[in-house]
Structure 1
Amino acid sequence: MTDTVRSLHSAGVTVAAACASVGLPRSTFYRISQQYSHYRRVPSPVPHADRHQPAALTGAEKADVLAVLTDEQYANLSVVQTYWRALDAGKVSCSQRTFYRIARSARFVGDRRRCKYNTGKHSRRTPIVHAGAVGELWSWDVTELRGPRYQDRYKLYAVMDVFSRYPVAWRIEYHEKIDHAVSMFTQAWATHGVPGTVHADNGSVMRSGPLMAALDSAGAFASFSRPRVSDDNPFSESLFKTIKYDLDCPVQFESIDHAREWTRAFFHRYSTQHRHSGLGRCTPEQVHTGTAIQVRRQRQLTLDHYYQQHPNRFRKPPQAPPLPTATGINTHLSQTG
């Protein structure tokens, strides 16, 4: 292709037109023609977003910007209005564009004007809850199980420890009631202790006064999903999908006692036998009780022994899946920039 470009160029065609006619980028033509004499390959290229900018704000300066953005006196102002008022007050020392960039990375931008409920606009801040150990974060929700008749619906309450995926509490009732939820959590706290945070969606029971009072008296912080955003409660949603997609799950239950019996057996099997992909193929019970370390150690010994017997079957020594690390809800996002 480069020879064709040279021939066309010698015939009076510009290099740009010749390259376009054969579909060759002009920069590629010049690099090949000059035998890469001006090309220096970087051994370990760094993405532009990760590169250090000498003129970038320091960590302290970014913290000052975030402090301004979260200041109550600017709560009802736009980012632009906030910037100029803070600049006049001597609180920030950056450009408007930099100020807005930090606000956007912290998810402090967006239209906050009144709008209809069906527009899909969400004014609540994205919940970000970390779970680095057992007992730091519980997630719970309520789903429906079908009964023998179309109008028969059973309510499955389920609470899980997010770090270990261990179901710490559950119950099935005919209706979704506040008393059922409070009783369920009270029993769970007596058995597993009080978590740092309890996350739920925006159901009336989840936000009810008696449950909030029970959480507050127990010392647990309440976290909630944004309205109509199912991704804010992914662990409970995933657990319900696992239940309903189980091959043994009945399409409809014969009675509420049947639903309770099957669910009890399922949770026992899920907790003690299910090798979870998010837990390094350990079971929720192993992670919840702290025995996952011994399980992984024994797995590694088994793999090492197998590798020593048949090294020709591997490209490199096999490694047992790593133990679970910190997780949480929307932890891939950042509200601090």
Structure 2
Amino acid sequence: MSIIERRSLISPEDDALSISGQCKLLDLQRSQYYFRPKGESQFNQSMMNVIDRKFLDCPFYGVERMTAYLNKDLGYHVNSKRVRRLYRVMNLSTIYPKKNLSKANAAHYKYPYLLKGLKIDRVGQVWQADITYIPMFRGFMYMFAIIDVYSRKIVGWSISNTMTVEWCRDVLLETIEEHGKPEIFNTDQGSQFTSPIFIKVLKGNKISISMDGKGRALDNVFIERFWRSLKQEYIYLNPPNGGMELFQGVKRYVEFYNKERRHQANGDLTPNEVFYQNNKKVS
């Protein structure tokens, strides 16, 4: 039975058995339950695809500059209100520093950035995670991934049509179960990662919490480099036609990235070679 067929059997309204329990009975990872395509109007999708490509090269493009690019360079007729909404849909945040960066959100505590000046010299020392927008031939989805910084191995990932904290939490739990826990976990200040639901997992496993300075491009650079590689080497070359094709394509790419793609920073070794030569799973 395929993932889609098993997922269709899940009943969120069942009071007798939780979603997690139903997934376990069906041998379905909880994160795969969230795998459902999402769409926008055809016009918005075309703009989102253009925005995604341009933002990958120019992450300093804010809404006004992107609106000007769409209108004056590409001939669209859109206002900044529409582009601003699409930025939110795509989870894009411009990297230039903004005012009042130290002003904390009243609901969620922002943790300090712990990686400045830190020598990362072992597997499991630092994991970084992020969410990105993934365009398809029709519609789009989001991808959440976790990278081991030292080896560059993608240790956990999932695809969803929503950016819920529960989705991110479940992927984190599955990754810890498979590979052990890191010493430090670094993310941006997105609401999923500052949520008490997500923070509880990190604190419960005694993992040090690190968060990027808001608007800083290089704080989470390793996962950002992976997004660039994924999109330029797979997504943009062969836009997937549907959610299952996307899932299977990303799975193949992650396997290629981990097993075959060599990194100069690792002495031209693959992420898997570095990870498994040096990894000592922490329980």
Contact 1:164/1:279 (CA < 8 Å) preserved in 2?
Answer: yes
Tell me the number of residue pairs that the alignment of Structure 1 and Structure 2 aligns: 173
Q: Distance in 2 between matches of 1:122 and 1:222?
A: 22
Q: Distance in 2 between matches of 1:219 and 1:166?
A: 22
1:148 aligns with 2:137: yes
Q: Distance in 2 between matches of 1:187 and 1:250?
A: 30
Q: 1:122: Cα distance to partner?
A: 6.2
Q: Distance in 1 between matches of 2:275 and 2:225?
A: 18
Change (3 A) 1:180 1:126: closer
SS of 2:218's equivalent in the other structure is helix
Residues 1-337 of structure 1 correspond to what in structure 2 (within 5 A)? Answer: 120-121=98-99, 123-124=101-102, 127=114, 128=116, 129-149=118-138, 152-246=139-233, 249-250=236-237, 252-290=239-277
SS of 2:181's equivalent in the other structure is coil
Q: 1:222: Cα distance to partner?
A: 1.1
Q: What one-letter code is carried by the residue in structure 2 that aligns with 1:171?
A: S
Q: What one-letter code is carried by the residue in structure 2 that aligns with 1:141?
A: D
Change (3 A) 1:161 1:291: closer
Question: Moved runs in structure 1, 4+ residues, more than 6 A?
Answer: none
Q: Distance in 1 between matches of 2:97 and 2:177?
A: 43
Q: Distance in 2 between matches of 1:141 and 1:122?
A: 23
SS of 2:193's equivalent in the other structure is coil
Contact 2:129/2:145 (CA < 8 Å) preserved in 1?
Answer: yes
Contact 2:97/2:215 (CA < 8 Å) preserved in 1?
Answer: no
Q: 1:130: Cα distance to partner?
A: 3.9
Q: Distance in 1 between matches of 2:113 and 2:130?
A: 18
Q: Distance in 1 between matches of 2:101 and 2:131?
A: 24
| TM-score normalised over the length of structure 2 | 0.57
Contact 2:122/2:278 (CA < 8 Å) preserved in 1?
Answer: no
SS of 1:169's equivalent in the other structure is strand
Describe the superposition over 1:229-286 as per-residue Cα deviations: whole angstroms up to 9, x where unpaired: 1211100111100111115754532111111100100011111111111111000000
Q: Distance in 2 between matches of 1:126 and 1:214?
A: 19
Q: What one-letter code is carried by the residue in structure 1 that aligns with 2:203?
A: D
Describe the superposition over 1:213-235 as per-residue Cα deviations: whole angstroms up to 9, x where unpaired: 11100111111011111211100
SS of 2:192's equivalent in the other structure is coil
Q: What one-letter code is carried by the residue in structure 2 that aligns with 1:269?
A: F
Q: Distance in 2 between matches of 1:123 and 1:244?
A: 30
Q: Distance in 2 between matches of 1:167 and 1:247?
A: 16
Q: Among all aligned residue pairs of Structure 1 and Structure 2, give the percentage whose two residues are the same amino acid.
A: 21
Q: What one-letter code is carried by the residue in structure 2 that aligns with 1:120?
A: K
Q: Distance in 1 between matches of 2:188 and 2:226?
A: 15
Q: Distance in 2 between matches of 1:286 and 1:160?
A: 15
Q: 1:154: Cα distance to partner?
A: 0.5
Q: 1:126: Cα distance to partner?
A: 5.5
Q: What one-letter code is carried by the residue in structure 1 that aligns with 2:134?
A: L
Change (3 A) 1:166 1:119: closer
Describe the superposition over 1:179-227 as per-residue Cα deviations: whole angstroms up to 9, x where unpaired: 1111101111111101001000111101111000111001111110111
Contact 2:188/2:212 (CA < 8 Å) preserved in 1?
Answer: yes
What residue ranges of structure 2 are gaps of 5+ in the alignment?
A: 1-95, 103-111
SS of 1:202's equivalent in the other structure is coil
Q: What one-letter code is carried by the residue in structure 2 that aligns with 1:142?
A: I
Q: What one-letter code is carried by the residue in structure 2 that aligns with 1:164?
A: S
Contact 2:113/2:211 (CA < 8 Å) preserved in 1?
Answer: no
Q: 1:153: Cα distance to partner?
A: 2.0
Contact 1:122/1:227 (CA < 8 Å) preserved in 2?
Answer: no
Contact 2:234/2:253 (CA < 8 Å) preserved in 1?
Answer: no
